[in-house]
Amino acid sequence: MSQHIVSPRLYFLVFAALLALTGLTTGVAFIDLGAYNTVAALAIAVTKALLVILFFMHVRYSPHLTRIVVVAGFFWLAILITLTLSDFRTRRWTPSPSGWETSSVLRQAPR
């Protein structure tokens, strides 16, 4: 057997780090950082998720094939969110052709 066995000490260290980060993210939520509140909350969440994935889920010790699957999963999630937002965020950047403006306009002037 050559499966990597993670030491309980490392598990407890990761656990302590996760608890500390939970405390940190809760504390930061009460400080006014403007838009950076969201950035900080997400950055801490990503860090925590990475700790869980790498150590608790053993991806740090997994073969490349498994790692590719993990990375591909999150890459596809990034595509999902990026393309969805690129649609919603840019809809009003270009002018609509006349008569396309909004549905309420259409309702006011039925043809």
Binding residues for another protein, rule: CB under 8 A, are 1-3, 5-6, 8, 11-12, 14-15, 18-19, 22, 25-26, 29-32, 37-38, 41-42, 44-45, 48-49, 52-53, 55-58, 62-63, 65-66, 69-70, 72-74, 76-77, 80-81, 84-85, 88-89
Q: Which is nearer to another protein, 73 or 101 (CB)?
A: 73
- Distance from chain centroid for Cα 105: 38
Shortest spacing between CB 104 and another protein, in angstroms: 17
* Contact by Cβ (8 Å): 80, 39: no
Shortest spacing between CB 107 and another protein, in angstroms: 20
Q: How far apart are CA 93 and CA 95, in angstroms?
A: 7
Shortest spacing between CB 102 and another protein, in angstroms: 15
Radius of gyration for the alpha carbons in the chain, expressed in angstroms and rounded: 23
Q: How far apart are CA 28 and CA 69, in angstroms?
A: 33
Q: How far apart are CA 70 and CA 74, in angstroms?
A: 7
